[in-house]
Amino acid sequence: MELLLVGMSHRTASLGIREGLALSGDEVRRALRLSRDEDALRETLVLSTCNRSELYAVTPDAQRAEWRLRALGERIKGGDLLAPGPHRYRHRNREAARHLLRVAAGLDSMVLGEMQILGQVKDAYALACEEGSAGAFLNRLLPTALHAGKRARAETEIGAGTASVASAAVGLAGEVFADLAGRRVLVVGAGATARVAAQHFAKRRPAALRIANRTPERAASLAAELGGEAVGLEELPRALARSDVVICATASPTPLIGADMVRGALRDRPCESLVILDLAVPRNVEPAVANLENVFLHAIDAVQTIVDLNLARRRRAVPRVEAIVEQEIEGFFAWVRSLETKPTLRALRERFEAIRAEEVRRHGGGLTREDAERLERLTKSLVNKLLHCPTTRIKACDPGSPEGSLRLDAVRDLFGLGATDGGEGA
């Protein structure tokens, strides 16, 4: 059996191409169910996220399996999006397993070390188990990948600190307000950056979340999505007075919030701190706002500095994480080798045991019960000692290599073992 991976990710494919192959939960289930009817797909796993779509198969025929995986994708998405090309990759055996472990460890993410991917790998495995497409091979490989991911985060700094502008902004606000759950948040803007920032703050369950935007419909859409309230830009002065944390991320060429506006808002609110996070370029907030009492203004450079420092810590952890991946890979393929050599080891031991039992039968007649038991123990001990070295050597060989294959063939030939059931496949 071989392990085959065919897929695409943010490293190889544009967003448009990735969107074409993105599989919903129901589509993943359908693909897994369809795969059970394919002889070339003995086991199947589908990992589909916003940044990657990967199909794994355990197969006796990698070429046929690739065709069937492509056919599955075409049947579900209406196009052969996994056809050979620069947007996709194809790995087999050790490289396929290594890729999965690196993904689980956060080494292949768009944001190095991000935490979400480990849960996504776990969910993909759970779906494969529920749909009956995971067997002995995947039931060993996926726990190995999850263990590698957990070790990477527990033993290194691959997930240290915040590594996105939005999450760093939340961290800065948290330095002033220990608990954001009781605070009022205002997000100025409804574009990509503003949306991500709003999502991060919404997870902290603020007392109020307001979205202000030049286009009321966009503000209303994002507010409805996050359970917040939409306000127009003309309401900014009043909204500032009702906020504890303000995030600005619009494309306005001139500042939307000036010192006078903030000064007026401070008069209409309790004497508490106001945190303003300006994530826009050009700035949405006048620099002079930083001089106002009880106002903490952080521009994009300050936020980006935090991100850069944390990413530097994560990059320093990469060699250690790669070493963890290799350790886990070695352990996994040691298990694979043990499966591949088991038929030969079993046949060898059965041959020796048959000879031992026959000789005991021939020469054990007339012995007392005590002597017969002693002879049984003696001959079994002798067989175990004779087989100890050959067993160790056979287990240590790699059946997939020319040398390992020759060694197994030699053992079967020398001891007349013949063909083993099912060959030497995993």
Strand arrangement of the beta sheet that strand 43-48 belongs to: 43-48, 52-59, 2-9, 89-92
Burial classification of residue 371, based on how many CB atoms lie within 10 Å of its CB (0-12 exposed, 13-18 middle, 19 or more buried)? exposed
Structure tokens at 361: 């039968």
Concerning whether 389 is annotated as a catalytic residue, the answer is: no
Q: Report how far residue 22's alpha carbon sits from residue 14's, in angstroms, rounded to the nearest whole number.
A: 12
Do residues 269 and 245 lie in contact, with contact meaning Cβ atoms separated by under 8 Å? no
Q: Check 50, 129, 248, 271 and give the catalytic one.
A: 50
Helix 165-176 / helix 192-202 crossing angle, nearest 10 deg: 50
Looking up tokens 């409805």 gives 224
Q: Report how far residue 335's alpha carbon sits from residue 46's, in angstroms, rounded to the nearest whole number.
A: 23
Residue type present at position 33: R
According to DSSP, the β-strands at 245-248 and 184-188 are parallel
Q: Report how far residue 230's alpha carbon sits from residue 227's, in angstroms, rounded to the nearest whole number.
A: 10
According to DSSP, the β-strands at 89-92 and 2-9 are antiparallel
Residue 283 CA neighbour count, 13 Å, CB half = 17
**DSSP for 31-96?**
HHHHHTT-TT-SEEEEEE-SSEEEEEEEES-HHHHHHHHHHHHHHHHSS-TTSSSTT-EEEEHHHH
Structure tokens at 315: 């990059």
Q: Which positions ≥6 away from 375 have C-beta within 8 Å?
A: 360, 363, 364, 367
Q: Report how far residue 240's alpha carbon sits from residue 261's, in angstroms, rounded to the nearest whole number.
A: 8
The set of catalytic residues is 50
